[in-house]
């Protein structure tokens, strides 16, 4: 088959642009998933939280005529539901996975329910005159031949997402709250022993993951597409969770993993137009994540063995130096 | 002038009825190193947890710098200048030393955490108190001794005037222990006060100014270390209160059942937990293993029971190798094991009594026939054990969770005794259970011995070891340091001296009796 | 004995209470959104009993849910958070379809072969995350979610490029050979002989769990894995075998959908049924004998929601909200404690009042 056609289309600037475009709604919730994961809480509700924000954003923008207000309220709703999830998990001791799945089910059903109420249509919000967040042409870049189509004229949330990778890195590694979130996730007892409020910290982490998932949802319905569609996130919340693990729970790693997922997605779209089954390519990121789990597990084991060996050497040196006991 | 800390008439009664502290008076002077010694379960840790705000006293008062205080939480204690270094360190493994030291009160620079400043603080503290640490290394990459220094520095950074060290040398090599002692002296030179929990008398003599001895939840006395001899302290620690009377027929020793040679175990952390251990256990005798907890007994039991790998050495039961097999294989060789931690290994709380009694044999006839579990038979078997071992349970279908601690232990004992073992390993078989149940377990052990079973009894309760055993070995620091071929002829003072590392027999001499 | 029965009743009352609370919430929502809320809710609550085909839908749904619920119940009882049922269901539907489309043989043999093939693929698809968990301690939530995504892609790939006839307008396969179809046993419905599998599966799982040594090992591993290991149980083997065996039942649910309901391979055959199995199993407290009961209950809700949608202005998605509320309330242990505390406080207040009253007298 015409591999050079594929190759040429991959190497095109437009393709790189589309990778960035499809990676954004994975990256945003993945950053949220990262924050809660580091706090020691696996948020499987990202998917549902995205849907909520996606619908609310569209509806509010349609009724107020203000896209930014839609974005704001959509994100706020997603954050509130994340807090509700936190309440069930942290106060009522519900299992985080099951309650997260419950939020997903309620969101999937609830958004369709509300969509139907408002539009008498269960498929999409095409009847609502909703608005989108603007695309931004970057002044100098825009005119450039290759870089322009690659990097300019993306939705504003794409740039926000890129910015957030760095902001979240700074947040997690350079601010008190971020450091406390990581401390709580790694050793809650130790964090508690120096006066860090473990529960409050986890509340904040879950709320922030709600905010990020919300931005991802808004990006879906007010950027990636210009309307809400039922179950439009199509598993991106789960992919985001995978990106957290594939990215080894670091902001930059998560960003690269999201780009990788985006690449596979964009590639499968290209292949689709070339009559090559896109599913092959779509499978790659998932398989890569499973592989990454294996690799990290083996690495961890190797590191433990190595640590034991080094300590034993030190001990041996000690015994020799001190002449037995 | 009043003392820096004064704890008056402190009592602590736990909901399960254990009186951990009984009208304890304890005082500490400014600038001293005060050793707090006692056997496991003597109440030292409880007393310190009360001082550190982790437990509330049932009764009693705490006076700090001449004022009555209520310490409500560790944070409260920290704010009052009391710091504690726990045995399990409160550190974040992936954070660096400096990050751990400033955790909770990170230095800020324009809203962001100033890591350079954290490094500077760490280096400065480290220099000031002579506690060497690598400020920029992550916790999981540094040795245990350094982790401990990080904990101490953390407490100092929080402004601790009083430092409680809970058995700080348990995890250290001799070299590291010397370094720690130097550092502790430096701390007191700078006006800090140190409370040092231990049960190693050599360390008490070496480091402390005064020593308070606890036993059975009470304070036996406070002495100036310089004026006290090690034997005097040892007697206060392990002196026998009530002599337990156990009716025991004379030993009828059969052939060797368990033969252990040069058994060595190095833990994953690289610490040597068992050093060239050799001994035999004969049919029809009880071999007692005495020792202060944490000297390798747990590891010895777990290696023999198939729960941990052995690094080198051999162990045979009836001539068949026991080491590095699955627990099932070990059990099939005729080994039973009463685990020291009932709730971790001994029972499944939500499973019923009958199910708990067959975990080692459910797959064999008559419990499984033609591939199917004989549910009725298992229930009958459970009910039979309930009667035979007088377990207080309506019937074998109740979940173990519904039973009291003593009856849970009876379930464990019933299971392990009813498998007709050749070798029975009993680790802390009566820990935390009432007098009646204790007596019952003791009788059962004697009964097994009469039937010709070889029994390895590991207990931190000296009374128990002395009254049940036929022979006794003492473990100290992972090795056997003494053997007493006739348990009747040994005194608790003598055992105590070995347990605390004051005395040691010559290996060549011991060989004949092991 | 008495105490335990009381506990059992309390559990039962709690389950019923949870369901009633969720249904009440559903009704309140209906009140707000519907012009004829009573009629809508009536259709929802009574609809499945009004016509044979509606009754059929209810039972068909319950068969699938029973099988998926059993799959979840197995892994949850061993305390493994495997969410692999969704992917296994897809693969079961696919493989039974391949056998149904590409082979020709006598009816009984054909159906058996298709079912066995489905069961086998479900077993293998469960073995992968099982081995990863047992030997590498790889997080089973993440690995099973990934494997689900992969399974669905495989399904779509084969359906789109191999099974879909070129002339077909929709992405569906041809109908299976009649020999590979499950015989329908109630006229006017799609209730097939799969109902016997579902009933048999309940007893098989019950038997496996309570009457075989493996089941004992499974339950002990779930109750306290360290106890199980200390007692000599090969806990790693229990973990991977449980996840694999669970796959068989999820795959059978898929085969039921392919060979019994749709009679061909269709796109999006599941849409989250694997997750709905979680509710079924949770409501049954992971007890296999109760799973058909909760599956019937839950299937009823879903069938009722369909009817409500068709006969009123309220959409079927209402039931998803009800479902979520049920999960949240069932899993919230603290909620139970909270209720008990409230009861105690109230009783305490009554006592205090009584005492005051007594003082006055």
Are B220 and B264 in a shared domain?
no
How large is the angle between the packed helices A236-246 and A278-322, nearest 10 degrees? 30
Chain C residues 243-272 with CB within 8 Å of chain A: 272
CATH number at residue B90: 3.40.50.300
Q: State percent of chain C over pLDDT 70.
A: 89
Strand arrangement, sheet containing B59-64? B19-28, B5-13, B59-64, B67-69
Last residue of a domain, which of B178, B204, B238?
B238
A78 within a domain of the structure (yes/no): yes
B350/C207 Cα distance (integer angstroms): 20
Last residue of a domain, which of B238, B267, B285?
B238
**Structure confidence at residue C191 (pLDDT):** 85
B374 within a domain of the structure (yes/no): yes
Are B154 and B215 in a shared domain?
yes
Number of domains in chain B: 2
Q: Give yes or no for a contact between B321 and B507, defined as CB atoms under 8 angstroms apart.
A: no
A41/A205 Cα distance (integer angstroms): 9
- Measured in degrees and rounded to the nearest 5, phi and psi for residue C214 equal -65, -45
A93 within a domain of the structure (yes/no): yes
Q: Give yes or no for a contact between B430 and B437, defined as CB atoms under 8 angstroms apart.
A: yes
What is the pLDDT averaged over residues C84-105?
92
- Nearest Cα of chain A lies from the Cα of B260 at a distance, in angstroms, of 23
Strand pairing report for B256-266 and B312-317: antiparallel
Q: Where do we find the tokens 């944490």?
A: B294
A191/A197 Cα distance (integer angstroms): 8
**Structure confidence at residue B228 (pLDDT):** 85
Contacts of A315 (CB under 8 A, 6+ apart): B173, B270, B271, B272
**Extended beta strands in B183-325, E state:** 193-198, 210-215, 218-224, 256-266, 272-282, 286-290, 312-317, 320-321
Q: Give yes or no for a contact between C312 and C63, defined as CB atoms under 8 angstroms apart.
A: no
Rg (CA), chain C: 23
In which band, very low, low, confident or very high, does the pLDDT at A117 lie, cut at 50, 70 and 90?
confident
A237/A217 Cα distance (integer angstroms): 9
Residue in B with minimal Cα distance to A322:
B175
Number of domains in chain A: 1
Residues of B whose CB is below 8 A from C3: 402
Residue A129: give the domain boundaries: 23-251
A288 within a domain of the structure (yes/no): no
**Structure confidence at residue C194 (pLDDT):** 85
C199/C63 Cα distance (integer angstroms): 9
Are B224 and B354 in a shared domain?
no
Contacts of B329 (CB under 8 A, 6+ apart): B306
Q: Can you name the residues that pair with B475 across neighbouring β-strands?
A: B480
How does pLDDT run across B68-95, given as a tens digit for each residue? Answer: 999 988 888 988 999 999 877 899 999 9
Residues of B whose CB is below 8 A from C4: 398
Rg (CA), chain A: 22
Chain A residues 119-158 with CB within 8 Å of chain C: 122
Closest CA to C162 of C115, C113, C95: C95
A112 interfacial to chain C (CB closer than 8 Å): yes
A87 within a domain of the structure (yes/no): yes
| More confident of the two residues B174 and B338 | B338
B175 interfacial to chain A (CB closer than 8 Å): yes
Check pLDDT > 80 for residue B239.
no
B244 within a domain of the structure (yes/no): no
Name the pTM for this structure: 0.82
In which band, very low, low, confident or very high, does the pLDDT at A325 lie, cut at 50, 70 and 90?
very low
Are B195 and B47 in a shared domain?
yes
- Measured in degrees and rounded to the nearest 5, phi and psi for residue B67 equal -125, 145
How does pLDDT run across C56-78, given as a tens digit for each residue? Answer: 889 999 999 999 999 999 999 99
What is the pLDDT averaged over residues B146-150?
91
Q: Tell me the H-state helices in B363-491.
A: 375-388, 405-417, 435-450, 462-468
Q: Chain-wide mean pLDDT for chain C?
A: 85
Q: Is C130 helix (H, G, I), strand (E, B) or coil?
A: helix
Residue ranges per structural domain of chain C: 64-299
CA dist list (Å): A68 to A81, A119, A308: 20, 22, 55
A2 within a domain of the structure (yes/no): no
Nearest to C334 among A91, A238, A277 (CB): A91
Helix-strand-coil percent breakdown of chain B, rounded to 5?
35, 25, 40
Q: Give yes or no for a contact between C232 and B359, defined as CB atoms under 8 angstroms apart.
A: yes
Nearest to C231 among B360, B394, B398 (CB): B360
How does pLDDT run across B278-289, given as a tens digit for each residue? Answer: 999 999 999 999
What is the pLDDT averaged over residues A64-86?
95
In which band, very low, low, confident or very high, does the pLDDT at B199 lie, cut at 50, 70 and 90?
confident
With 0-12 / 13-18 / 19 or more C-beta atoms within 10 angstroms meaning exposed / middle / buried, residue B342 is buried
C135/C239 Cα distance (integer angstroms): 10
In which band, very low, low, confident or very high, does the pLDDT at B487 lie, cut at 50, 70 and 90?
confident
A7/C23 Cα distance (integer angstroms): 56
**Structure confidence at residue B279 (pLDDT):** 94
Q: State percent of chain C over pLDDT 90.
A: 37
Residue in A with minimal Cα distance to C325:
A102
Are B72 and B187 in a shared domain?
yes
Which of C332, C337, C338, C340 is best to mutate for the A interface (most A CBs within 10 A)? C332
**Structure confidence at residue A147 (pLDDT):** 78
C contact chains, 3+ CB pairs < 8 A? A, B
B110 interfacial to chain A (CB closer than 8 Å): no
Q: Give yes or no for a contact between B472 and B466, defined as CB atoms under 8 angstroms apart.
A: yes
Residue B167: give the domain boundaries: 5-238
In which band, very low, low, confident or very high, does the pLDDT at A316 lie, cut at 50, 70 and 90?
low
Q: Give yes or no for a contact between B92 and A183, defined as CB atoms under 8 angstroms apart.
A: yes
How does pLDDT run across A158-202, given as a tens digit for each residue? Answer: 999 999 999 999 999 999 999 999 999 999 989 988 889 999 999
Question: Would you put residue B318 in left (φ > 0), alpha (ψ -120 to 50) or beta?
Answer: left
With 0-12 / 13-18 / 19 or more C-beta atoms within 10 angstroms meaning exposed / middle / buried, residue C99 is buried
**Structure confidence at residue A310 (pLDDT):** 67
B59 within a domain of the structure (yes/no): yes
């Amino acid at each position: 088959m015409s591999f050079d056609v594929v190759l040429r289309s991959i190497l095109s600037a437009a393709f790189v642009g589309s990778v960035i475009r499809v990676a954004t709604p994975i990256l945003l919730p993945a950053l949220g998933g990262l924050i809660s994961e580091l706090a020691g809480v696996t948020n499987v509700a990202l998917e549902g939280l995205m849907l909520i924000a996606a619908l609310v954003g569209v509806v509010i923008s349609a009724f107020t005529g203000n896209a930014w207000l839609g974005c704001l309220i959509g994100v706020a709703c997603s954050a509130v539901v994340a807090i509700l999830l936190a309440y069930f998990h942290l106060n009522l001791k519900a299992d985080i996975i099951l309650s997260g799945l419950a939020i997903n089910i309620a969101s999937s059903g609830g958004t369709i329910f509300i969509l139907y109420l408002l539009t008498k249509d269960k498929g999409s919000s095409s009847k609502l005159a909703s608005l989108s967040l603007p695309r931004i042409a970057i002044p100098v870049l825009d005119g450039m031949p290759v870089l322009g189509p690659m990097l300019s004229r993306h939705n504003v949330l794409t740039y926000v997402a890129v910015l957030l990778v760095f902001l979240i890195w700074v947040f997690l590694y350079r601010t008190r709250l971020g450091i406390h979130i990581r401390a709580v996730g790694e050793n809650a007892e130790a964090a508690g022993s120096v006066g860090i409020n473990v529960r409050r910290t986890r509340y904040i982490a879950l709320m922030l993951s709600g905010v990020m998932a919300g931005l991802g949802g808004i990006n879906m319905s007010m950027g990636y597409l210009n309307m809400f569609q039922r179950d439009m996130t199509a598993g991106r919340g789960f992919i985001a969770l995978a990106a957290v693990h594939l990215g080894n729970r670091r902001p930059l790693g998560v960003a690269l993993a999201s780009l990788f997922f985006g690449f596979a997605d964009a590639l499968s779209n290209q292949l689709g137009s070339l009559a090559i089954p896109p599913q092959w390519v779509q499978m790659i990121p998932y398989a890569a994540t499973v592989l990454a789990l294996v690799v990290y597990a083996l690495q961890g084991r190797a590191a433990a063995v190595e640590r034991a060996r080094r300590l034993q050497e030190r001990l041996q040196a000690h015994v020799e130096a001190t002449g037995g006991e | 002038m009043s003392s820096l800390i004064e704890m008056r008439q402190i009592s602590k009664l736990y909901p399960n009825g254990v009186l951990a502290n009984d009208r304890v008076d304890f005082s500490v002077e400014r600038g001293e190193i005060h050793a707090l010694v006692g056997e496991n379960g003597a109440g030292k840790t409880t007393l310190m947890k009360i001082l550190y705000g982790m437990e509330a006293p049932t009764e009693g008062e705490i006076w700090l710098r001449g004022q009555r205080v209520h310490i409500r939480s560790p944070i409260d204690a920290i704010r009052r200048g009391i710091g504690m270094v726990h045995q399990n360190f409160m550190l974040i493994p992936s954070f660096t030393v400096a990050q751990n030291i400033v955790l909770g009160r990170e230095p800020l620079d324009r809203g962001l955490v100033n890591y350079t400043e954290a490094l500077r603080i760490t280096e400065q503290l480290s220099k000031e108190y002579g506690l060497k640490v690598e400020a920029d290394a992550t916790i999981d990459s540094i040795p245990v001794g350094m982790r401990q220094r990080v904990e101490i520095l953390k407490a100092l950074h929080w402004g601790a005037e009083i430092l409680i060290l809970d058995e700080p040398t348990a995890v250290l090599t001799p070299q590291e222990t010397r370094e720690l002692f130097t550092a502790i002296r430096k701390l007191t030179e700078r006006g800090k006060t140190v409370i040092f929990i231990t049960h190693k008398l050599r360390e008490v003599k070496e480091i402390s100014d005064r020593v308070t001895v606890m036993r059975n939840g009470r304070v036996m006395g406070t002495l100036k270390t310089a004026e006290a001899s090690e034997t005097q302290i040892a007697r206060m620690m392990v002196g026998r209160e009530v002599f337990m009377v156990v009716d025991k027929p004379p030993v009828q020793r059969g052939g060797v059942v368990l033969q252990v040679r040069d058994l060595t175990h190095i833990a994953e952390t690289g610490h040597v937990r068992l050093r060239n251990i050799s001994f035999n256990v004969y049919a029809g005798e009880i071999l007692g293993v005495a020792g202060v907890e944490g000297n390798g007994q747990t590891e010895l039991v777990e290696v023999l029971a198939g729960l941990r790998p052995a690094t080198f050495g051999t162990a045979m039961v009836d001539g068949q190798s026991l080491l590095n097999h699955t627990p099932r294989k070990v059990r099939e060789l005729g080994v039973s094991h009463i685990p020291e931690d009932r709730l971790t290994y001994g029972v499944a709380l939500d499973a019923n009594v009958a199910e708990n009694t067959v975990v080692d044999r459910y797959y064999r006839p008559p419990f499984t026939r033609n591939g199917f579990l004989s549910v009725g038979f298992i229930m009958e078997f459970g009910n039979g054990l309930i009667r035979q071992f007088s377990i207080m349970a309506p019937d074998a279908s109740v979940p173990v969770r519904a039973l009291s601690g003593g009856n849970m232990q009876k379930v464990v004992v019933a299971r392990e005794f009813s498998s007709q073992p050749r070798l029975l390993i009993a680790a802390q078989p009566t820990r935390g259970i009432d007098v009646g149940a204790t007596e019952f377990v003791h009788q059962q052990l004697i009964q097994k011995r009469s039937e010709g079973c070889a029994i390895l009894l590991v207990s931190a309760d000296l009374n128990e070891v002395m009254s049940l055993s036929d022979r006794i070995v003492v473990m100290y620091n992972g090795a056997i340091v003494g053997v007493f071929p006739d348990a009747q002829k040994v005194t608790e003072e003598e055992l105590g001296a070995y347990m605390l590392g004051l005395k040691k027999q010559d290996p060549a001499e011991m060989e004949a009796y092991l | 004995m008495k105490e335990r029965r009381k506990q059992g009743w309390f559990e039962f009352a709690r389950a019923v209470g949870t369901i009633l609370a969720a249904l009440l919430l559903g009704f309140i929502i209906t009140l707000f959104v519907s012009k004829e809320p009573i009629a809508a809710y009536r259709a929802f609550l009574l609809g499945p009993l009004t016509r044979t085909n509606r009754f059929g839908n209810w039972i068909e749904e319950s068969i699938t849910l029973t099988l998926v619920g059993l799959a979840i119940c197995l892994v949850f009882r061993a305390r493994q958070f495997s969410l692999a049922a969704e992917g296994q269901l897809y693969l079961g539907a696919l493989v039974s379809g391949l056998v149904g489309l590409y082979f020709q043989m006598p009816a009984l043999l054909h159906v058996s072969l298709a079912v066995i093939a489905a069961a086998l693929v479900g077993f293998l698809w469960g073995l992968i995350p099982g081995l990863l968990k047992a030997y590498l301690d790889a997080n089973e939530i993440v690995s099973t979610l990934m494997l689900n995504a992969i399974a669905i892609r495989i399904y779509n790939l084969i359906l789109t490029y191999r099974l879909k006839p070129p002339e077909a307008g929709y992405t569906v396969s041809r109908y299976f050979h009649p020999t590979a179809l499950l015989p329908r046993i109630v006229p006017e419905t799609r209730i097939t002989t799969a109902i016997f599998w579902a009933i048999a599966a309940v007893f098989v799982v019950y038997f496996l769990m309570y009457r075989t040594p493996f089941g004992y090992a499974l339950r002990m591993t779930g109750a306290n894995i360290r106890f199980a290991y200390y007692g000599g149980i090969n806990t790693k083997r229990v973990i991977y075998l449980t996840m694999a065996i669970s796959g068989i039942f999820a795959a059978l649910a898929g085969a039921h959908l392919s060979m019994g309901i749709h009679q061909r391979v269709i796109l999006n055959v599941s849409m989250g049924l694997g997750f709905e199995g979680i509710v079924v199993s949770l409501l049954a407290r992971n007890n296999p004998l109760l799973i058909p009961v909760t599956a019937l209950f839950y299937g009823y809700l879903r069938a009722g929601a369909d009817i409500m949608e068709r006969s009123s202005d309220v959409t079927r998605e209402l039931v998803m909200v009800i479902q979520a509320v049920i999960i949240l309330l069932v899993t919230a242990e603290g909620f139970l404690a909270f209720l008990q505390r409230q009861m105690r406080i109230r009783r305490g207040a009554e006592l205090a009042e009584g005492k005051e009253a007594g003082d006055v007298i």
